[in-house]
Structure 1
Amino acid sequence: MTSFLSRPAVAVLGLVVGCVPAKEGTAPSGTRVERVSPPGSVWLPAGRFEMGSPAGEPGRDVDEGPRTELTFERFQMDVTPVTVRAFAARREQVRAKDPQARWWTDAETPGDWLGRCNLGSERTDHPVNCVDWRAARAYCELVGGALPTEAEWEYAVRASTASAYWWGESFEAERVVGSVPCASRGCRGGTAPVVHAGPRCNGWGLCDMAGNVWQWTATGYQERLGEDAPAEPSGVPAKPVHRGGSWLNHVPSLFRSAHRGLAYPKNGLTGVGFRCVRRP
């Protein structure tokens, strides 16, 4: 575990209905998936999955269990993390919606944070980072959506797979934006532009679900998955879970589909962003 992460939380099932015209595609499993052109949203099919990791999975943390079977109706999720360009266009609306929301610009990046904050830079097609949970929630609500629950996020990243990573059982560097190849935290230097196709996109057309930036969820941390978890996220979680790993991370296991992380703002938020889901 890096000092930037820790453990995170449970999930809530969300039924999500989108409001964007969609095209159809096909997932590897044969499940039909409706898609919109980037930078839009993808319809995720109804289905069932086991949240968490099996006891023998390499790199597994104890808070990734017990494995819990969950069922979803179809819902809609952003294809990519929210970009700097998209967030900047609504920045004043976010501030008006939640005056307590916080974010940092490139010029305001604290000197002891690794990397740079992307707002106020020319990196407009990169994921927005250095935004706190409240800012992410406010943005999603402004665009008619919400932050995904932890369960929704894991269902989405797995895309009908049950392997340690969404692409298989072994880490593959080309699938993520991370610092694994140089084996030193933050050695990559920063985020990368979002993509809409290629090896960083899973079978349901969701891109950068692992790597580039961690992604906030609506769920507050619980030590165990399952029945002891709260059924609905409420208010502002004291310890909101984030998922996916980021450019800062050099430990392969942090990019696994079941890994759960906690952000510590004092250590910097240059590796944290978000994406939205849409519900009825």
Structure 2
Amino acid sequence: MPPPESVWLPAGHFEMGSPAGEPGRDVDEGPRTEVAFERFQMDVTPVTARAFAARREQVRAKDRQARWWSDAETPGAWLGRCNLDSERTEHPVNCVDWRAARAYCELVGGALPTEAEWEYAVRASTASAFWWGESFDAERVVGSVSCTSRGCLGGTAPVVHAGPRCNGWGLCDMAGNVWQWTATGYQERLGEDAPSEPSGVPEKPVHRGGSWLNHMPSLFRSAHRGLAYPKNGLTGVGFRCVHRR
């Protein structure tokens, strides 16, 4: 039997953000905000290069401004780091901009998760700094923490459906491998709504989770927030979808 593509996450509530004394905490991880959810589904893994490639023409037709980069189009310094059109078909798709990620999720009947949905999902009923506990554990992530420079491990890893990289709700690579786009625009304080363009595109969408490039353990904490411009297709950023039904 093939592994499930998505899992149901239970209804519930949680406190979003991090406590003031958490090591590595950034000021934009507060104020802590109580958020409640009905149950929803989330993809078990980030969307793979194979899955995105199968729908890329549909993505292009849905949003003509969506952009992505294949391995052949990668600048020389990053050759071999974009997974689309490479042999790394079971790795997370990366080098896709925010609009491409949104269009893909809508095509499969879902959406990009909000930032709050994403943190609720990674925590999986935990309140610790990392979903597995208070201390960093390199076995749980695909990252570069054991290295002395950014990205020294070389790139992404194939997605998994079980094992130490999967949290208590069965979601895998929620910390490490690739950051993941969310639907939420960045604001310096949690709980505030960021303005969007008329097209509904946030000025600076939040991405979550940390990536293979990162060598600082604090970036893999459940409350850590990243951001980028929506037109950026980055080697360290991919996405997964949610389904609300």
Q: TM-score, normalised by structure 2?
A: 0.94
1:229: Cα distance to partner?
A: 6.0
Instruction: In structure 1, list runs of 5 or more residues that go unmatched.
Output: 1-35
1:230: Cα distance to partner?
A: 7.3
Once the two structures are superposed, residues 167-224 of structure 1 have per-residue CA deviations (whole angstroms, 9 ceiling, x without a partner) of 0000000000000011321101000000000000000000000000000000000110
Of residues 229, 232, 237 in structure 2, which corresponds to 1:264? 229
How has the CA–CA distance of structure 1 residues 59 and 169 changed in structure 2, closer, same or farther, with 3 Å as cutoff? Answer: same
1:125-274 aligned within 5 A: 125-226=90-191, 235-263=200-228, 269-274=234-239
How has the CA–CA distance of structure 1 residues 97 and 268 changed in structure 2, closer, same or farther, with 3 Å as cutoff? Answer: closer
Once the two structures are superposed, residues 31-73 of structure 1 have per-residue CA deviations (whole angstroms, 9 ceiling, x without a partner) of xxxxx95251010001110000000000000000000011111
**Between Structure 1 and Structure 2, how many residues are aligned?**
245
Instruction: Please say if residues 263 and 269 of structure 1, whose CA atoms lie closer than 8 Å, have aligned partners that are also in contact.
Output: no
How has the CA–CA distance of structure 1 residues 267 and 102 changed in structure 2, closer, same or farther, with 3 Å as cutoff? Answer: closer
How has the CA–CA distance of structure 1 residues 38 and 234 changed in structure 2, closer, same or farther, with 3 Å as cutoff? Answer: farther
How has the CA–CA distance of structure 1 residues 257 and 170 changed in structure 2, closer, same or farther, with 3 Å as cutoff? Answer: same
1:80: Cα distance to partner?
A: 0.1
Instruction: Please say if residues 203 and 230 of structure 2, whose CA atoms lie closer than 8 Å, have aligned partners that are also in contact.
Output: no
Once the two structures are superposed, residues 122-154 of structure 1 have per-residue CA deviations (whole angstroms, 9 ceiling, x without a partner) of 100000000000000000000000000000000
Instruction: Please say if residues 98 and 134 of structure 1, whose CA atoms lie closer than 8 Å, have aligned partners that are also in contact.
Output: yes
1:265: Cα distance to partner?
A: 7.8
Taking only aligned residues, the RMSD between alpha carbons, in angstroms, comes to: 2.2
Q: Answer with 108-117 or 119-128: which moved more.
A: 108-117
Instruction: Please say if residues 118 and 129 of structure 1, whose CA atoms lie closer than 8 Å, have aligned partners that are also in contact.
Output: yes
Instruction: In structure 2, list runs of 5 or more residues that go unmatched.
Output: none
Instruction: Please say if residues 218 and 240 of structure 1, whose CA atoms lie closer than 8 Å, have aligned partners that are also in contact.
Output: yes
Greater relative CO (CA pairs within 8 A, separation 6+): 1
Once the two structures are superposed, residues 71-107 of structure 1 have per-residue CA deviations (whole angstroms, 9 ceiling, x without a partner) of 1111000000000110000010000000100000000
Once the two structures are superposed, residues 225-274 of structure 1 have per-residue CA deviations (whole angstroms, 9 ceiling, x without a partner) of 12566799970001000000000000000000000001358986010000
Instruction: Please say if residues 176 and 209 of structure 2, whose CA atoms lie closer than 8 Å, have aligned partners that are also in contact.
Output: yes
Instruction: Please say if residues 84 and 124 of structure 1, whose CA atoms lie closer than 8 Å, have aligned partners that are also in contact.
Output: yes
1:279: Cα distance to partner?
A: 1.6
Instruction: Please say if residues 110 and 244 of structure 2, whose CA atoms lie closer than 8 Å, have aligned partners that are also in contact.
Output: yes
Identical pairs, percent: 91
How far apart, in 2, do the equivalents of 1:115 and 1:265 lie?
A: 23
Q: TM-score, normalised by structure 1?
A: 0.83
How far apart, in 2, do the equivalents of 1:71 and 1:232 lie?
A: 27
How far apart, in 2, do the equivalents of 1:200 and 1:138 lie?
A: 27
